[in-house]
Amino acid sequence: MRFGHFDDAGREYVIETPRTPYPWINYLGTEEFFGLVSHTGGGYCFYRDARLRRLLRYRYNNVPTDVGGRYYYVHDGGDYWTPGWAPVKRELDRYECRVGLSYTKVTGERKGIRAEVLYFVPLGTNAEVHRVTLKNTSKAAKSVKLFSFVEFCLWDAWDDQTNYQRNLSIGEVEVDGSTIYHKTEYRERRNHYAVHSVNAAVAGFDTDRESFLGLWNGFGEPQAVTEGRSRNSVASGWQPIGSHQLAVDLAPGEERTFVFVLGYVENPVGEKWEKPGVVNKKPARQLLARFQTTAQVDAALGALRDYWTEMLSKYTVKSGDARLDRMVNIWNPYQCMVTFNLSRSASYFETGIGRGMGFRDSNQDLLGFVHLVPARARERILDIAATQKADGSAYHQYQPLTKRGNDAVGSGFNDDPLWLISGTAAYIKESGDLGILKETVPFDNDPRDTATLFEHLKRSFHHVLHNLGPHGLPLIGRADWNDCLNLNCFSETPGESFQTTGNRTGRTAESVFIAGLFVHVAPDYAALAEATGFADEAKAARDHAARMEKTVLEHGWDGEWFLRAYDFFGRKIGSKECEDGQILIEPQGYCVMAGIGVATGQARKALDSVRDRLESAHGIVLNQPAYQAYHVELGEISSYPPGYKENAGIFCHNNPWVMIAETVIGRGDRAFALYKKIAPAYREEISEVHRLEPYVYAQMIAGKDAVRHGEAKNSWLTGTAAWNFVAISQHILGVKPELEGLRVNPCIGAEVEGFTILRRCRGAEYRIRVTNEATGKPARLVVDGKPVDGTLVPYAPAGAVVTIECEA
Ligand code: BGC
């Protein structure tokens, strides 16, 4: 069952009913100011850091769901309603929500009034703009009242929901005509305030929540709205809000548009005040002046559209399969931008107060992002590398506002350092910018301890070699990619963190996954070493990788698939000898991606085992059999009920590793079949089962052991976005930037007969036409009319247009 449809020409998903199976959201903002907006207008916004600079209050885990947002109430002769249906939930004659690229447009119509609210964050602007259009669709003249509403968060979202003894006394606002200033804590250490304004004269306002709602009312029945009369309240403590009331007269057929701006404003510390107690409003006025007219707003929206058009033009496919095309051309790269910006901080599953930027996560997010804005990828790589420690280990997370490593979580996740090599290599392949390797970057953000970025990569690589276990495999530390496989934790205390509790320090628990990752990054690392003039290091790296490959085949092979790990006691994990958890997905995908066992047959066996043991109708589950009981020596993985999350859930992040692995052994039809199982556009028709947005990936789909098999959780902020983009664009459709040129080598199976790809890379344009006979063999290429050997097309100079005919 569907709840809407894709409008590919408009690059929108059109939600046709407000009664979706869950709030379906979108993101506003592409640079420093971000908003989350649901299909009813719920959500919140923040400047850079979702915890420390939050403008609006939002209630996670509340009932009914999705409480808090930017609401517009229409009061029409005693009848009142909201165009997004919630929070008033009055039946609408018409409802539609258009989820677009960095904007959302909600339209509701009731009894002859149509209200359309467009939400977006203009480029270069720290504010949300809400363009609200009211239209009289009836045959009679109408006088309606429009009320806006936002509830301010007192900046630090954690403190805001925990420290009431202080917070209920500190709220402060100023009202100046049609503009409301939220200035809590501005009198002391803050030099920023929020502004909420409309480009029209107001008939009333409210800034105190209780005055607007009434003490016992919810957002569905604010007394100012039910009575059609603002209180003109000025908040003093309690809960500051921003609400405007506009009186709108509309002749039959007439429409009027209002522009509301909700922004974040900073003043230099020495220029905070206009006069004692009155905030300096100059920068706010400058901001508001940019959005006074509908023409200004429309121009800003046009600029945002152009920005996306330019970015998405880097990789486009025409395949004849609309679902494939819309994933590759629109929604997957869109999600990659969102994960790049927000890592795992703020979604409807991540509260914005818990997690900062992940070292491992952000490096993987780069894999799907580097082609969109390479310059921003460069900056990110240098930020991440600065949180690496001198011994090559890495802080697991860092805070976006300070860019410093998070001491509370610390380091010791032994896969982390290697991801820096993957992220950097992806950026250099896309951009050709080998110069980044010579940049000076501190360790642990300490300006007294610096080295080149290449030296950082070297320490990453050697960190693995300095931390090998009894079988010669890498020590796992606190965890590897699977944050929930905690082999040195042994936690028996409720509430203790599985990731930071490390009460076994023995150097015994080893990870076959990290071994696969090591072998996978080694060729890139060696090539970068060579390109930087370290030929000996390159050779040594290749030797180490060959040795590791041998070790994996000797100690990491279980007969039919790759082992997952050795535990603290040296016992096998992910082996036929185990009772539960006999096979885990991660090493099957990664070892084959790395080429391990491809020549000798283990790779094919491992992927057949994945097919036979792990695959389900909704994707590949993480392990089988699911752990039925808690194992203190395994950690969090065994804490989940069977079928959820890392315990046999379909963890969509690692499915593409298997897709890519299938292309490594030439099984394109398998790769594409697996792709379609989890790609959201292919799951749109089962939205009542999947439940989350059909335009973006979720982290997890409940596995076959789960009560709710097929149901997704944790949409948007997941490494799934980047990895699926890599799998489909570089391996299945097969156009992949390498250091020396563009690799063109599709492997998609027989279902798709042929397709064209337009790829812009390093300033040149590649027009690729693929005739697909699904041979499973390397493609044959004709470049600018000449047959060439191999599948690598050397980079053309900027401005060139290269035509490639490809037989796959
Ligand atoms: C984390 C990733 C981790 C994955 C698997 C995600 O929640 O952000 O870093 O690799 O879970 O455990």
Q: pLDDT tens across 545-568, in order?
A: 999 999 999 999 999 999 999 999
Give, using CA atoms, the residue closest to atom 9 of ligand 1.
361
In this structure, of 52-61, 382-391, 394-403, the range with the lowest mean pLDDT score is 394-403
Q: Which of 367, 395, 483, 511 best tests ligand 1's pocket when mutated (most atoms within 8 Å of CB)?
A: 483
b (16+ CB within 10 A) / e for 258-278: bbbbbbbbebeeeebeeeeee
Question: Could you tell me the distance, in angstroms and rounded to a whole number, from the CA of residue 749 to the centre of ligand 1?
Answer: 30
Two structure tokens written together for 444:
């642990």
What's the CA dihedral at 493, 498, 500, 504 to 10 degrees?
Answer: 80
pLDDT of residue 205: 98
pLDDT at residue 506 tops 80: no
Ligand 1, atom nearest to 651 Cα: 5
* Cα–Cα distance, 217 to 406 (Å, whole number): 41
Q: Which of 513, 590, 653, 716 best tests ligand 1's pocket when mutated (most atoms within 8 Å of CB)?
A: 653
**Residues framing ligand 1 (Cβ under 6 A):** 344, 358, 360-361, 481-484, 646
Phi, psi of 586 (to 5 degrees): -55, -50
Ligand 1, atom nearest to 481 Cα: 10
Q: pLDDT-based confidence at 355, cuts 50/70/90?
A: confident
Pairing mode, if any, of strands 801-807 and 764-771? Answer: parallel
- DSSP letter assigned to residue 435: G
Helices (H), 266-331: 282-289, 294-312, 322-326
Q: pLDDT-based confidence at 732, cuts 50/70/90?
A: very high
Two structure tokens written together for 493:
């205390």
Two structure tokens written together for 778:
């390397």
* Cα–Cα distance, 633 to 487 (Å, whole number): 6
pLDDT of residue 220: 98
pLDDT at residue 678 tops 90: yes
Mean pLDDT of 728-732: 98
Question: Could you tell me the distance, in angstroms and rounded to a whole number, from the CA of residue 358 to the centre of ligand 1?
Answer: 9
pLDDT at residue 446 tops 90: yes
pLDDT at residue 356 tops 90: no
Known catalytic residues are 483
Q: At what angle do helices 585-593 and 655-664 cross, to 10 degrees?
A: 40
Mean pLDDT of 267-285: 97
pLDDT of residue 354: 83
> Is the overall model pTM greater than 0.95, yes or no?
yes
Query: How far apart, in Å, do the first and last CA atoms of the chain sit?
Result: 36
Question: Could you tell me the distance, in angstroms and rounded to a whole number, from the CA of residue 115 to the centre of ligand 1?
Answer: 41
Mean pLDDT of 164-183: 98
Percent of the chain with pLDDT over 90: 97
Mean pLDDT of 70-97: 98
Contact 515, 556 (CB under 8 A): yes
Nearest Cα neighbor of 680 from 99, 94, 35, 62 is 99
Q: pLDDT-based confidence at 399, cuts 50/70/90?
A: confident
Contact 266, 192 (CB under 8 A): yes
Task: Centre a 10 Å sphere on the Cβ of residue 367 and count the other Cβ atoms it contains.
Answer: 24
pLDDT at residue 502 tops 90: no
Q: Which of 347, 350, 481 best tests ligand 1's pocket when mutated (most atoms within 8 Å of CB)?
A: 481
Give, using CA atoms, the residue closest to atom 5 of ligand 1.
482
Mean pLDDT (the chain, rounded): 97
Q: 654 vs 63, 478, 799, CA distance in Å? A: 33, 20, 37
pLDDT of residue 361: 97
Mean pLDDT of 134-157: 98
* Cα–Cα distance, 800 to 779 (Å, whole number): 23
Question: Could you tell me the distance, in angstroms and rounded to a whole number, from the CA of residue 542 to the centre of ligand 1?
Answer: 29
- Classified as helix, coil or strand, 766 is strand
Give, using CA atoms, the residue closest to atom 11 of ligand 1.
483
pLDDT of residue 20: 98
Phi, psi of 461 (to 5 degrees): -60, -45
Contact 228, 138 (CB under 8 A): no
Ligand 1, atom nearest to 355 Cα: 8
Amino acid identity at 282: K
Mean pLDDT of 345-356: 92
